[in-house]
Chains A and B, each alone.
Chain A
């Protein structure tokens, strides 16, 4: 479980986050949604420690106060974190297998054979077979996302972060990635946080949804409640097109 307590974040004179508090439970897919520039990515970067939170705020990983820790102590928690980046962030110069086994090589005493076995297991889990020796540039966008998921789960993480996992993907591949995130979360009982703009993801995998607007937590609920909410900002964001508005009305009426 990850808890965000009274988190504010200021860059120079500009305040991006205002006293955000939220709780992300284990074994559930937690979504952070919101329009561009509202603070979703900053919040996530605060949670993983890429940005320091302003004084008075705290990030807790299973009651361990991450924001109060020094770099060394944080490293222990970071070994429990897997992250899927928007652009996959695979290491260009390493092959698919080397990318997946990279954290194992850095932080475990596994032999080459054990690392290969684990990498193959993770790659098979995301349905990638016989691509071990390709470079990331030689694979498709969807495949890169799946390789990044394989790398993220290589160390058996307790916490999984996904930053816009569906950006740049076609709808069919997006569904594959969404299902994979959902399955892995349930299978390994992880605390998963997904930042997304993708409304399909919101409806499909959102066990817990947090809507961030103007740097504040504006709304919280699940994928059933978001259909019926009367929160105007949420409605304007999620049901922006007339097609979605009609769909919502039909769902409510039915």
Chain B
């Protein structure tokens, strides 16, 4: 399947247009949900960290530091990817699955169009290239959420929080690289798995629903496994 996905498109102008359309749907369309989740995720991380740190030995900026570390290392790249796997994965699988059961894919094939490449490549490329930007947006908003929640609740001052989120960055800056590599891999996994399940749907409306569920489950499992492997490879 992958060789058909990455074979030369029939027409570059059509591919270019579809690439931007799909990027808009998959990536830009996910930003409102990601933004909403990230702000509250950051706020909860900061509040939980602050409320559970009662030791006077720990400096106040620790909350900012822990919020940044957990956001960059795990929450933004992995948790947000899992949520996007639910939204985008089911959307892609049901869209392509419906095209399969309504013979639209057969129609493409009979016209001489490489249906796998035409349908999948713009989605997979769009998500793989632009997904890291969504994750960066998520990180920023999560940190903003942590700042608003902590300052509003009186746990720390803006200066302390800002100091905390910058603490040890020169030693731990590579965690951003780790997070971005993860987001590229996760973007690829979510879209390619969803495309696969959608494309090989057989039957009717019931099977489209099943494919959609299977795609989300498989993408989530793949994300968690890849997360473990990438952590072993990059961080340790």
**Residues of chain A at the chain B interface (Cβ within 8 Å):** 48-50, 74-76, 78-79, 81, 83, 85-87, 89-92, 102-103, 105-107, 161
Chief secondary structure at chain A's binding surface: mixed
Which residues from A are CB-within-8-Å of B109?
49-50, 78
Please state if A48 and B110 are interface contacts (CB–CB under 8 Å).
Answer: yes
Residues of chain B with a CB closer than 8 A to A76's CB: 112
Check if B103 sits within 8 Å of A79, measured CB to CB: no
Contacts of B104 in A (CB 8 A): 89-92
CB <8 Å contact, A79 and B111: yes
A50 touches B112 (CB 8 A): no
Known: A105-B11, A106-B10, A106-B11. A89 touches B113 (CB 8 A): no
A78 touches B103 (CB 8 A): no
| CB nearest neighbor in A for B118 | A106
Interface residue total, chain B, C-beta cutoff 8 A:
15
- The reply to whether A106 and B103 form a contact with Cβ atoms under 8 Å apart is no
Chain B residues with CB under 8 A of A92: 98-99, 102, 104
Q: How far is the CA of A105 from the CA of B12 in the complex (A)?
A: 11
Q: In the complex, A61→B104 CA distance in Å? A: 24
CB contacts (< 8 Å) of B10 on chain A: these are: 106-107
Do B14 and A89 touch (CB < 8 A)? no
**Contact sample, A vs B, 19 pairs, CB 8 Å cutoff:** A49-B110, A50-B106, A74-B112, A75-B112, A76-B112, A78-B109, A81-B111, A83-B107, A83-B110, A85-B106, A89-B104, A89-B106, A91-B104, A91-B107, A92-B104, A102-B111, A103-B111, A105-B11, A106-B112
Interface string of B1-45 (1 = CB under 8 A from A): 000000000110010000000000000000000000000000000
A89 touches B103 (CB 8 A): yes
Chain A hits for B98, CB < 8 A? 92
